[in-house]
Amino acid sequence: MVNIEIDGIPLKVDSSRMIIQAADEAGIDIPRFCYHKKLSIAANCRMCLVEVDKSRKALPACATPVTEGMKVFTHSKVAIQAQRGVMEFLLINHPLDCPICDQGGECELQDLSLGYGKGISRFSEGKRVVKDKNIGPLIQTEMTRCIHCTRCVRFGTEIAGIKELGATGRGEHMEIGTYVEHSLASELSGNIIDLCPVGALTSKPFRYKARAWEMQAHPSIAPHDAVGSSIELHVRGNEVMRVVPRDNESVNETWISDRDRFSYLGLKHTDRADKPMIKQDGVWQETDWQTALEHTVNGLKTVQAKNGQDQLLGLMSPTATLEEGYLFQKWLRGLGTQHIDHRLRLQSVDDAGEAYWQNALTMADIEDCDSVLLIGSNIRSEAPMVGHRIRQAALNGALINEINFLKRDLLMPVQRQWSVNSDTLLQMLKGIAVALMKLEPAANGEWQHYLSDIRPGSSEQNIAMQLANATAPILVVGALANQHPQAATIRALANLICTMSQGELLVLPEANSRALHLANVLPAKPNSESATGYWQQKKRALVLFDVEPEFDSADPATASAAMQQAGFVVAINRFWSDSIRDHADVILPLAAFAETSGTFIGLDGQWQSFTGAVAPRGDSRPGWKILRVLGNLSNVPDFDYVASTDIRDEIADSLTADKQTQNAHFIPVEPDTFAEKSADHLELISDVAMYRTDSLLRRSEALQLTPENQQALIARMHPDTAEKMDLADAERLQISQGECVLEVALLLDKDIAQGCLYLPGATQNSRELGAAFGLVTVSPVEALADA
């Protein structure tokens, strides 16, 4: 700690601080453009020049370390003259087109020019004009406004891990851009909109839509992944105009993913269900809520009476709130069914009782770890903020290994990435476990028996050593692994490895699934029954809560077939989709995330409650209200909630009453090898594409236009595999899986495991196929045409 004085105010500050940090902590305002607390120091804008005693010239507060006895003057004559001089330089080539600039009203240059600028310009030469660049569907450029602070460039290098923007040219001709035109590939790219202090980089979908001062900020929680980033909804009238991050150091710091930023665009999509409707004689009819609700209750009763109570199935999207989940299962259980689930994409749930499902890890835990083993996870698309924290850990020296079915650039220093098929993945995990047992012979007898034939190879021994030597290792089991038919075995092995290396296991939850677990949106026997099984059983009556079966299930073909054969389908949904239109009997329009209150529980286990920012669209209603009425109409007792907070309190009370989850001690049994396959079969590798994970995202047009999303429609295969299957020259492919056939573009990609075909799920293409990780056969499309 050192003693300094800023503007006469004595301060005791950490000696590692720069003047600007000390000033910020003390609430003393120093103007700045290039400085940002989360980025490296560039000291290039010169706006933060301050007077420091004993220095003959003004010094940049952002880059001048505090020293004992230092006296800083932020508003002395010297400081003000320097700051005014810089402001004048910034403005001479700035277009001053504030009236048509989206940044107007929230522009750091505009704000500071009020304080430091002059009314009349002394610059009578011509102003610089810079051509705009197209950098994709999310970000609008207006580079003439750029003041070259390089925050966006530093963000790419330091936070996103991918340097896409740079400053080309030099001097007055320096320009920020990509040089060769292309869309930004970072899943965090939208943050440069917030970072840009002027209107050079603004939100493309938000362009010309509203003025900063016309909107009200409403705090909320992003529902698309298990991070639950803090966001602010900017609302004008009854419309969410945009989404920006809300500072929350313990969750998302000051960033959000593009997914969380641009999902709001789906709120207004034309697919939006905004009136209750019922299908009569195959024709959809508008109706009032009362009629629709009564029709729902009666319809379900009729089917149940005819086919048995257990013929009722209730499925819920993992993006639903805690309160919605609780009422959903309470109502359905009241109707006499236990067939309830939110684990829509899981194919293997034998380990459902294990404690690791509820492991809570804070983002700080992740950033502070010193070794990470990623198992079957596309972490950058699954949970971009988790990816960012792992990257920070890697930059601080954590050793990163990945075992997956494909290799994607993690944009961080990694030890090694293995791209392997299912058998090898399991073998590797067993190998690591055995290698650790040799170091730490503590595992129980059953495991020793299970693993008795395993001889770890050098790779496995290597990973085991790295985990064993780490003080805080983390294993992450991601969506690819969790959605695998052998997922329970994968998770159990990961847990075993974790226990032996004294690490933390993060079974990456989907969206709000932690909350829905707590709310018991689960079958009575969660380790033997699941959504995937229920679809196969073709239940007669269905209640869907924001579920679009063609996209939100592990096996779209089976789900679609079950929809077709159901006697009565209730959709409490936000959007119309093909399967709802064709097979539902009632649609009860559901309010979306910005329109309802509720609670979100992310991977850190924290309960984050939020309220609605806008009224539900059209005649749609918040889920908890719809379910409350359904409960009442169905005469289920104790359904008299006045506010969603009543529901939350009831859940909290019931949890404290409950005893802790017991460890179920799941140990896999042989044989667990992947289904026998012949040489002409490929394993279909599939996870959900980044911008297809829930109904809202699928309607965000800007996200749908991203290159990332376009690529999700393409099948990928290792060139050697293609060679073996005579597909080396094929550009299109026919994929057959059982009865399902799909024609799709093919890309050869050496990062895909051999013997596998990668096609992301929840897309227009994948909906035509069966279960992920099933076996498929492929043939070139041209060959078929010839035959």
Partner 1 sequence: MQQLNQVCFRTLHFDQPWTLENYRKVGGYKVLEQILGDKTRQEDIIEQIKNSALRGRGGAGFPTGLKWSFMPRKMPGAKYIVCNSDEGEPGTCKDRDIMRYNPHQLIEGMIIAGYTIGAEAGYNYIRGEFYEPIERFEQALVEAREAGYLGKNILGSGFNFELHTHPGAGAYICGEETALLESLEGKKGQPRYKPPFPAGYGLYGRPTTINNTETLASVPVILQHGADWFHELGTPNNGGQKIFCMTGHVNKPGNYEVPLGMPFAELLELAGGVREGHQLKAVIPGGSSTPVVPADVMMQTEMSYDGIGKAGSMLGAGSVIVMDDSTCMVKALERIAYFYYEESCGQCTPCREGTGWLYRVINRIENGQGQQEDLDRLIDVAENINGNTICALGDAAAAPVISFIKHFREEFQYHIDHGCCMVEQDEPQGLRQYG
Partner 2 sequence: MTEMQLTGPREQLFTADIRQRLDSWIAKYPPGQAQSAVIPALHILQEHHDGWLSKPLMQALAVYLDMAEISVYEVATFYTMYELEPTGRHKINLCTNISCQLCGSEKIASHLQRKLGIGFGETTSDGKFTLREVECLGACVGAPMLLLDKQYHEHLTPAKVDAILDGVK
Please give the residue ranges that form the binding site for partner 2 (CB under 8 A). Answer: 162-170, 178-180
Name the H helices within 147-282. Answer: 151-155, 191-195, 258-262
Residue 184 or 571: the one with the smaller Cβ distance to partner 2 is: 184
Is the four-CA dihedral 552, 553, 556, 561 of positive or negative sign?
negative
Mark the segment that binds partner 1 (CB under 8 A) among 49-57, 196-204, 263-271, 549-557.
Answer: 49-57
Which is nearer to partner 1, 122 or 659 (by Cβ)?
Answer: 122
| Strand stretches in 281-398, DSSP E | 283-286, 312-316, 340-341, 371-375
Nearer to partner 1, 125 or 670 (CB): 125
Closest CA to 470 of 410, 409, 416, 394: 394
Selected binder of partner 1 within 88, 271, 310, 751 (CB under 8 A) = 88
Q: How far is the CB of 451 from partner 1 (least distance, A)?
A: 44
Q: Which residue has the tokens 């780490």?
A: 470
Q: How far apart are CA 615 and CA 776, in angstroms?
A: 46
Buried b / exposed e across 282-315, counting CB within 10 Å, b at 16+? eebeebebeebbbbbbebbbebbeeeeeebbbbb
Name which of 169 and 738 has its Cβ closer to partner 2.
Answer: 169
Least separation in angstroms between CB 153 and partner 1: 11
Could you tell me the smallest distance in angstroms from the CB atom of residue 415 to partner 2? 16
Cα–Cα distance between 285 and 278 in angstroms, integer? 5
Pairing of strands 416-419, 399-404: parallel
Residue 156's contacts (CB-CB under 8 Å, 6 or more residues apart) are: 162, 163, 164, 165, 186, 192
Output the six-digit token pair for 361.
């890890």
Q: Minimum Å distance from CB 161 to partner 1?
A: 18
By the rule CB under 8 A, 68 interacts with partner 1: no
Per this entry, what is the length of the chain? 787
Peptide bond into 671 cis (omega under 30): yes
CB of 611 to partner 2, least distance (A): 43
Between the two ends of the chain, the Cα-to-Cα distance in Å is 81
| Partner interacting with residue 164 (select from partner 1, partner 2, none; CB below 5-8 Å by kind) | partner 2
Other CB atoms within a 10 A radius of the CB of residue 469 amount to 13
Tokens 């010239």 correspond to: 57
Integer Cα distance of 397 and 390 in angstroms: 11
Q: Binding segment for partner 1 among 119-127, 277-285, 319-327, 616-624 (CB under 8 A)?
A: 119-127
- CA nearest 721: which of 428, 379, 405? 405
Which partner in partner 1, partner 2, none is near 179 (CB below 5 to 8 A by kind)?
partner 2
Q: Answer yes or no: are the C-beta atoms of 607 and 599 closer than 8 Å.
A: yes
- By beta-carbon proximity to partner 1, the closer residue of 147 and 730 is 147
Q: Is 154 in the site for partner 1 (CB under 8 A)?
A: no
Residue 774 is classified by DSSP as: -
Cβ at position 91, least distance to partner 1 in Å: 9
- In the complex, minimum distance from the CB of residue 239 to partner 2, in angstroms, rounded to a whole number: 37
Question: CA nearest 631: which of 308, 279, 309, 296?
Answer: 296
Give the nearer residue to partner 1 in terms of CB position, either 45 or 233.
45
**Cβ-based nearer residue to partner 1, 124 or 656:** 124
- Angstrom distance (rounded) from CA 746 to CA 370: 38
Using CB under 8 A as the binding rule, whether residue 47 contacts partner 1 is answered as yes
CB of 127 to partner 1, least distance (A): 11
Query: Are 317 and 498 contacting, i.e. CB atoms less than 8 angstroms apart?
Result: no
Residues 170-199 that bind partner 1 (CB under 8 A): 170-174
Which one of the spans 55-63, 156-164, 433-441, 588-596 is the region binding partner 1 (CB under 8 A)? 55-63
Tell me, rounded to whole angstroms, the distance of Cα 106 from its chain centroid: 27
Q: Site residues for partner 1, window 665-724 (CB under 8 A)?
A: none
The single residue among 8, 16, 54, 57 that binds partner 1, judged by CB under 8 A, is 57
Q: How far is the CB of 142 from partner 1 (least distance, A)?
A: 18
Which of partner 2, partner 1, none does 49 bind, CB closer than 5 to 8 A by kind? partner 1
- Burial classification of residue 438, based on how many CB atoms lie within 10 Å of its CB (0-12 exposed, 13-18 middle, 19 or more buried): exposed
Q: Could you tell me the smallest distance in angstroms from the CB atom of residue 285 to partner 2?
A: 57
Of 81 and 471, which has the nearer Cβ to partner 1?
81
Of the candidate residues 39, 49, 487, 588, the single one contacting partner 1 (CB under 8 A): 49
Among partner 1, partner 2, none, the one that 533 touches (CB under a kind-dependent 5 to 8 A) is none
Q: How many residues form the binding site for partner 1 (CB under 8 A)?
A: 36
Contact in structure between 676 and 658 (CB atoms under 8 Å): no
CA–CA dist 493, 500 (Å, integer): 11
Strand pairing report for 175-177 and 71-73: unpaired
Q: Which of 1, 46, 6, 41 is closest to 27 using CA atoms?
A: 6
> Segment contacting partner 1 (CB under 8 A): 41-49, 199-207, 325-333, 554-562?
41-49
Report 576-595 residues binding partner 1 (CB under 8 A).
none
445 binding partner 1? (CB under 8 A): no
| Count of helices and strands (H, E) across the chain | 26, 32
Question: What is the Cβ-side half-sphere exposure of residue 534, based on CA atoms within 13 angstroms?
Answer: 35
Residue 22 belongs to what H/E stretch? helix 19-25
> 120-139: which residues touch partner 1 (CB under 8 A)?
122-125
Q: Rounded distance, CA 760 to CA 738, Å?
A: 19
In whole angstroms, the minimum distance from the beta carbon of 42 to partner 1 comes to 8
Q: Smallest distance, Å, CB 86 to partner 2? A: 23
Residue 82: which of partner 2, partner 1, none does it interact with, CB under 5 to 8 A by kind?
Answer: partner 1
Nearest distance from C-beta of residue 49 to partner 1, angstroms = 6
Does residue 82 touch partner 1 according to CB under 8 A? yes
Whose Cβ is closer to partner 1: residue 195's or residue 433's?
A: 195
Closest CB to partner 2 among 123 and 179?
179
Dump strand ranges (E) for 405-534.
416-419, 473-477, 504-507
Query: From the list 2, 63, 162, 664, which residue makes contact with partner 1 (rule: CB under 8 A)?
Result: 63
Compute the least distance from the CB of residue 169 to partner 1, in Å.
7
Is 77 one of the binding residues for partner 1 (CB under 8 A)? no
56 binds partner 1 (CB under 8 A): yes
List of residues contacting partner 1 (CB under 8 A): 41-47, 49, 56-58, 60, 63, 65, 81-82, 85-86, 88-90, 92-93, 122-125, 147-148, 167, 169-174
